[in-house]
Amino acid sequence: MMDKSPLEEKTASLNFIEALIEKDIQNHKNGGRVHTRFPPEPNGYLHIGHAKSICLNFGLAKKYNGKCNLRFDDTNPVKEDVEYVDSIMEDVRWLGFEWNGEPLYASDYFDQLYVWAEKMIVDGKAYVDEQTSEEIAAQKGTPTVPGKESPFRNRTSQENLDLFRRMKAGEFNDGEKILRAKGDMASDNMHMRDPIMYRIIHKEHHRTGDKWCIYPMYDFTHGQSDYLEGITHSICTLEFEVHRPLYNWYLDQLVEPGYRPQQIEFARLNLSYTVMSKRKLLELVQKNYVSGWDDPRMPTIGGIRRRGYTPEAVRDFADRIGVAKRDNVIDVSLMEFCVREDLNKKAARLMVVIDPVKLVIENYPAEKTEWVEVENNPEDPASGNRMMPFSREIFIERDDFMEEAPKKYFRLTPGGEVRLKGAYIIKCTGVKKNASGNIIEITCIYEPESRSGSGTEASQRKIKGTLHWVDAKNALPVEVRLYDRLFNHEDPGGQEDDFKNYLNPDSLKILSNCMAEPSVKTLKIQDRVQFQRQGYFCVDYDSTPEKIIFNRTVTLKDTWAKVAAKE
Ligand code: ATP
Ligand code: MG
C-alpha cells in the first residue's frame, strides 16, 4: 500500500465540507476566499438546530480566515417580526460569534431583485399567471407525471411587463396574479416546473414598510443574495438539495458567467426527546405547556441559556456531532454530557439541601458556631476555599437517612456513621417522628477529634459515606426548580398521535423549601454552580435577593441511561 501524502492525511480528518473548502482554496477558486453566511428567517426564536448551523458557518469562516455574514431572510412580511431579529442577534452573540460588518437583510435586495425579475420577463423567461393557486397546483403533475403548461404562459413580454408593473403598483389583490419563471413543466425536478418568483402580499414589511406589495419567493432570493454578498460556500440543510438546480439556474439567467456561490447541503440536527419544529415550539408556548420561549425546558437558545447551558458546551457539542450527509438523530444525552464536562471545570461547589430534614448533634454545645473550610472546586485549584458555619443543628437530605437500609446503603442509618463533608464524623442515635410517622428530626453524636483537615487520627478514619449538609442557624431557604426532559418519548414528533401526548409530566418540580449555605447570597443572576451530590444549577432570571431561585441545568450523572438499561 502506498503511503498517504501529507495532504491526504490532513483531508482524512476533515468533514466533507472542510475537505471541499480546502480543495477550493488549493485550486484558488474565488481567489482562495472563504465567505459563508447564516441566513435565518426572522419568524421565530432560534433553537439548538440553528446553533449547529451557526457554529458550522461561523466556525468555518474562523478556521479558514474568512468571513461570515448574518443575513435575515425576510421575504415574507406575514410571519416576520423585529422581535425575532433582535433575539436572533442576541443568540448568535451569546454563542460567541460576531458577524462580518452590519447585519444584512434579503429585503435590502428587493430593488435589485425587482430589476432582475423584469430582465427575466424581457428575456421571455418569466410570465404573469392569473390562475388560482388550486389550478396551479392541479397542473403541477407528480414526480412521474409531467405538469401542464399554464394558458397564460405565452403572453408577450410587453404584456407581462405591463402586468408585473401593475402588480407592483398595487392594482391587484393578494393571490390574483403571480410571476412565474418559464422553467420546464416536464422536468423531473418539481422545483423547475415554472416556479413562482413573486406573489402579491398587501402587508407592511418590518423594514421596507409599505414600499412593496409584491414579495420575492425564497428561491428567487437566496442564490441572488449569496451572489450579491460574494458568498463562496452557501451551506444549508438537506431539504434544499432539490432546490439547488433552481438556485444555479436563476443565477445563470441573470448574471455573467464566472463567480458563483456554491450551495452545499448537510443533514439537519435532530435530537432525541426533543421537538425542533418552529410550529410545534410555538404551540407549546401559545397553549401554555411551557412558560415561554425561554422556558428552561425549551430547546431554544433562549431556553438552554436560561437553563444554565454554556456557549462553550454548545460549541463543543456542535463539534462532536460533526456534519453528516444523511439525516440522523443525535442522543440528547450527548448534549447533556457536554454541559457536564464544561460545568465540572467551571462551577463552584456549594452545599444545598433540597429536601431537608433536621439533624441535631446532641453532644455539640448549643451556643457554639464554628467555621469549617471547604474547597470551592477540586477541578480548579485556583478557585480556593471558603468557610461554612457549623453548629449543633444542621439539615441533611431526607433520603440520606434510612431506618431500614439495604446492605449497600452507605448513608446514615440508626447506629451508623457518616462524615459530614468538610466537618465531623457523626453517629446516629435515634429519630423523632410526628403523629403520622414521618421523621421530623434525626439525633446524632459527633466525634470532636474527627474534624476534616485537622490531621488527627480520627480525622483520617475511613468512613464509607460522606454527606452534604447545611447549618440550620445560618441556612437560607431557596427555591429550586428541578427540570427534566420535556418529553418522555425518544421521538415525540414522529408518532401518529399528537406530540403533546408525550410530554413528560415530571419535567418540572418546584421545591420551595430547600436550604442553602449562606454564601449563595453572593450569587448573581445566571451564575452557575454545582450543588454537591445533586447536579449543576444556575440562578434564574426571576431570582431576587429575598427569594433566590435556582434552575437545575443538568444532573451529575445521566439518570436516563439507567432508566433505559432497566427497560
Ligand atoms: P422554517 O423552515 O420553518 O423557516 P428553519 O428551521 O429552516 O425553519 P430558518 O430560519 O430558515 O429556519 O433557518 C436558518 C438556518 O438554520 C438555515 O440555513 C437552516 O438550514 C438552518 N437550520 C434550521 N434548522 C436546523 C437544524 N435542525 N439543524 C441544522 N441547521 C438548521
Ligand atoms: Mg428555512
271-348+478-566: in CATH 2.40.30.10: no
**Pairwise CA distance, residues 308 & 537, whole Å:** 7
Sign of CA dihedral 213, 214, 218, 224: negative
Please work out whether the CB of residue 39 comes within 6 Å of at least one atom of ligand 1. Answer: yes
> Considering just the CA atoms, what is the radius of gyration of the chain in Å?
31
What's the pLDDT at 225? 98
Q: Which residue has the cell 428541578?
A: 482
CATH number for 352-468 (one of 2.60.120.10, 3.40.50.300, 2.40.240.10, 1.10.1070.11): it is 2.40.240.10
Q: 268 CB less than 6 Å from ligand 1?
A: yes
In the annotation, is 533 catalytic?
Answer: no
264 alpha-carbon distance from chain centroid: 23
Whether the CB of 236 sits within 6 Å of ligand 1:
yes
Q: Ligand 2 centroid vs 267 CA: distance in angstroms? A: 13
Residue of 41, 241, 379, 447 marked catalytic: 41
Q: How many whole angstroms separate alpha carbon 91 and alpha carbon 309?
A: 13
Nearest in space to 330 (alpha carbons), one of 552, 130, 491, 493? 491
Q: Please tell me if the CB atom of residue 534 comes closer than 6 angstroms to any atom of ligand 1.
A: no
How many CB atoms are located within 10 Å of the residue 564 CB? 11
Q: Give SS3 for 234.
A: strand
- Cell, residue 3: 503511503
Distances (CA, A) of 250 to 79, 215, 245, 265: 25, 17, 9, 18
Instruction: Judge contact between 536 and 553, C-beta under 8 A.
Output: yes
For a mutational test of ligand 1's pocket, the pick from 222, 268, 274, i.e. the residue with the most ligand atoms closer than 8 A to its C-beta, is 268
Q: What is the pLDDT of residue 79?
A: 87
Q: Give all strands of the β-sheet with 417-420 in edge-to-edge order.
A: 466-467, 417-420, 425-433, 439-446, 356-361, 393-397, 470-471
Q: What is the pLDDT of residue 559?
A: 75
Q: Report whether 172 contacts 203 (CB < 8 A).
A: no
Establish whether domains 16-266 and 352-468 are of one fold: no
Amino acid residing at 246? L
pLDDT at 81: 85
pLDDT value, residue 567: 47
Does the 16-266 domain belong in CATH 3.40.50.620?
A: yes
* Ligand 1 neighbour 481 (Cβ under 6 A): no
With contact defined as beta carbons under 8 Å apart, do 33 and 61 qualify? no
Exposure letters 31-49 (e unless 16+ CB within 10 A, then b):
eebbbbbbbbbbbbbbbbb
What is the spatial distance between Cα 132 and Cα 152, in angstroms, rounded to a whole number?
A: 12
Question: Residue 287 has what DSSP assignment?
Answer: T
305 close to ligand 1 (CB < 6 Angstrom): no
In the chain, what are the domain boundaries? 16-266, 271-348+478-566, 352-468
- Would you say the C-alpha torsion 453, 458, 462, 465 has a positive or negative sign? negative
Beta pairing, strands 126-129 & 178-181: antiparallel
| Tens of pLDDT, residue by residue, the chain (567 residues) | 455 555 555 556 899 999 999 999 999 999 999 999 999 999 999 999 999 999 999 999 999 999 999 999 999 999 888 899 999 999 999 999 999 999 999 999 999 999 999 999 999 999 999 999 999 999 999 999 999 999 999 999 999 999 999 999 999 999 999 999 999 999 999 999 999 999 999 999 999 999 999 999 999 999 999 999 999 999 999 999 999 999 999 999 999 999 999 999 999 999 999 999 999 999 999 999 999 999 999 999 999 999 999 999 999 999 999 999 999 999 999 999 999 999 999 999 999 999 999 999 999 999 999 999 999 999 998 999 999 999 999 999 999 999 999 989 999 999 999 999 999 999 999 999 999 999 999 999 999 999 999 999 999 999 999 999 999 999 999 999 999 999 999 999 999 999 999 999 999 999 999 999 999 999 999 999 999 999 999 999 999 999 999 999 999 998 777 555 554
Helix (H, G, I), strand (E, B) or coil at 243: helix
CA–CA gap between residue 503 and residue 69 (Å, rounded): 37
Rounded distance, CA 195 to CA 180, Å?
6
Q: Of 85, 92, 237, 325, which is best to mutate to test ligand 1, by the most ligand atoms within 8 angstroms of its C-beta?
A: 237
Name the 3-class secondary structure at 108: helix
Q: Find residue 511's DSSP bridge partners.
A: 480
Amino acid code (one letter) for 451? R
419 is catalytic: no
Report CA torsion sign: 488, 491, 492, 496.
Answer: negative
Host H or E run for residue 466: strand 466-467
Give the max Cα distance, the chain: 102
Cα dihedral sign, 428-429-432-433: positive
Please give the pLDDT value at position 565.
56
Pick the ligand that lies closest to the CA of residue 219: 2
In the block, which residue shows the cell 418590518?
206
Atom of ligand 1 nearest to the CA of 237: 20
- 41 CA → ligand 2 middle, Å: 6
Half-sphere exposure of 315 (CA within 13 A, CB side): 16
The pLDDT of residue 13 is 85
- Looking at residue 234, its pLDDT comes to 98
Contact by Cβ (8 Å): 70, 99: yes
The neighbour count for residue 546, using CB atoms within 10 Å, is: 5
- Helix, strand or coil for residue 242? helix
Cβ 169 vs Cβ 214: under 8 Å = no
Residues 6+ apart with CB under 8 A from 43: 76, 79, 80, 81, 84, 278
H or E stretch including 111? helix 110-122
What pLDDT, on the 0 to 100 scale, is given for residue 1?
47
Say how far apart CA 342 and CA 412 lie, in whole Å. Answer: 32
